[in-house]
Structures are given as structure tokens and as C-alpha cells.
Amino acid sequence: MKPLASKLVLSAAALAAGIAAKALAQSNVYSLSIYAGGTSYQDLCALDFPLPPFHYKITQRSRYEDADGLVIMDPGHEKERGGVLCRYLDVEYWTEKFTIPVDRPQPLRARLLAAESAERERREKAWLASGYFQIKTFTLSNRTTSLADQEDLYRLQQRETFHDGHWTRATGPERNIIRITASTNDMVIWERIIREFDQPPRWR
């Protein structure tokens, strides 16, 4: 990270801590929050400027975690499963984003998983920039993301031998959308798979 960026992040962290402490102290039970996937999100501060840093936002993220820092998604039974309520402040400062734990340091297991995810994302971005990786969106005419159709797609996929084996498959949000991220060699195979898959289904 460049020296200027480092100074900005440090300044943002100090500012975030001060604003967050005040916001947490003044928070009330009627504050609006959004709950999704076992996690509650609440905006504490959001500012936009015509000059740098242009954008500044703090979101409090609350969730029950196990000893490894993994979220527990069992509403009403989190404590029975050994869950601990943990809060984090997600800070957006210009182009920088970082998280400040409020209640406890992030467990080692959670830090390792986050590091692995960040490294995987960094590697995929580098592959995309080099042309080794491609992302293609396929719009289906005759098939959907239904379970029966996806079983057919899985059978076609299992029949193939991929050259590199570096690929991911995602669907949606529309029911006829499939997005493939794959190496250039493997994308050729996926194009063939999707062409064969997107035929009117035979009678089952």
C-alpha cells in the first residue's frame, strides 16, 4: 500500500473508532437494521463529499459466531450452540475498505479463511488481467436453473475432462442465466457443454 493510502487508512481508522464509539453509545432500540444470512447490518454513518475522500460510510455488522469465528445461522438457538454475539464495523473510506472488530479479536480460523478468500480473489483478478481466465455469461433459451435441468448439466460436466480444472459456475439472478469463470482452455469446453445443454429437454 502506498504511503498516502496508508495514512488515509490510519486516519480513517481513528475517525471510525471515534464516530463508532459515539454512535454505539447513542444507538437506540428503534434503529433500522437489515438481517440476512445470520447477520444483522445497521448503517451508523454515511457521508458523501464533492472532494476527497468523496465517500465515507460505517456499517455495524452483528452476528453470533462459534469458536472459529464462523456465523451461526440458527435463529433463537445461537447461544445453545455456543454462539457469542460479535459486532464489527465495516468502514468505507474513499476507495479503501476495512473492518474493525468491536467485541473481540477475530479468531485465528476466521482470519485464515479471510486470508485464503482474499488470496483466491487476488489470484483470479491477476488471471483475468493476464487473459488466462475468462468470464462469460450464457443466456439459456430452453433450460433454467431448476433442479432437473441442473442435474442434466452436471451429467454433461462430469463427462468432460478439463485441461486446467480452474473454473467456477454461478447462476442467476434470472432463472435462465449461467455465468462461468474459467481458464481459456476450459472455457472452450464449457461453451460446448452449454450448447449441448441448452437444447429442448427430452421427455423424462
pLDDT digits (tens, 9 = 90+) for 117-154: 888 888 888 888 888 888 899 999 999 888 888 888 99
Can you give the pLDDT at residue 37?
Answer: 74
* Domain-located, residue 178: yes
* Domain-located, residue 68: yes
Mean residue pLDDT across the chain: 79
Tell me phi and psi for residue 44, to 5 degrees. -100, -30
Domain with 33, as residue range(s), is: 3-106
Q: Which three cell numbers stand for residue 73?
A: 445461522
Domain check: are 55 and 136 in the same one? no
Number of domains composing the chain: 2
Tell me phi and psi for residue 29, to 5 degrees. -70, -10
Domain check: are 7 and 102 in the same one? yes
* Domain-located, residue 15: yes
Domain check: are 29 and 84 in the same one? yes
* Domain-located, residue 114: no
End-to-end CA, the chain:
57
Q: Is the dihedral of CA 5, 124, 118, 112 positive or negative?
A: negative
Residue 17 or residue 170, greater confidence: 170
* Domain-located, residue 119: no
* Domain-located, residue 26: yes
Can you give the pLDDT at residue 190?
Answer: 94
CATH number where 148 lies: 3.30.1370
pTM across the whole model: 0.45
Q: Which tens digit of pLDDT belongs to each residue from 82-103? A: 888 899 999 988 878 888 888 8
